[in-house]
Each structure stands twice: as structure tokens, then as C-alpha cells.
Amino acid sequence: MIVERETAFFTEHLKSWLDGEFSAADILMVLVLRRLDFSGLLDAYPDVTGYVVRGAARPAYQRAFAAQLAVFKARQGQAQKLPTSPIPR
């Protein structure tokens, strides 16, 4: 897994936001990392999970999540095994 290979990168860069301040890049990264919620793969990486929790708590992320989920539900019906809350477990 890339996190294992690049642990130093993730440890250093995910202590704050990707571009210094919270940005669209962080929204996208958190959305991608949230796809791993049910796998447990990130449990061994507290810096990564902390980044995801902090990012998911941001109002901009929550708005983006809600908009994405609404589109998905409108097109697919009820989602299976996808996060239904903007905040990770």
C-alpha cells in the first residue's frame, strides 16, 4: 500500500493541509480516503486518520459530501457500503 511506502510523506504533509490552508485539494483527498472507512486499512496510520477526521469536520467538506451523496442517490438509489455521514466513525 502506498501509505506504507510513503509513511514519511504522509506523516509530514498530513499534519496540516495539503496547500498550507484547507482547500479543494483537501476536500478531494478526504473524499478519496473516506472510501477506505470500511476496510480498516488506515487504522494503523493515526496521522492519516487524524487528517481525514479534521477534514471531514470542515463545513466546506460537509457541503461537498452532501452534494455528492445527493447526486449519487438520485442516480443510483440507496448507496451500499458508502459513508452516509460526513464525519468518519
Q: Give per-residue pLDDT as tens, 52-86.
A: 999 999 999 999 999 988 888 887 765 556 666 66
More confident residue, 2 or 74: 74
Q: Please tell me the predicted confidence (pLDDT) of residue 62.
A: 94
Fold of 7-76: Glutathione S-transferase Yfyf (Class Pi); Chain A, domain 2 (1.20.1050)
On whether the CB atoms of residues 12 and 22 are closer than 8 A, the answer is no
E-strand ranges in 4-57 read none
State mean pLDDT over 25-34: 92
pLDDT at 89: 62
Q: How far is residue 43's CA from residue 66's CA, in Å, rounded to a whole number?
A: 25
Using CB atoms within 10 A of its CB, is residue 17 exposed (0-12), middle (13-18) or buried (19+)?
Answer: middle
What average pLDDT does the chain have? Answer: 82
Return the SS3 of 27.
helix
Q: What is the pLDDT of residue 84?
A: 65
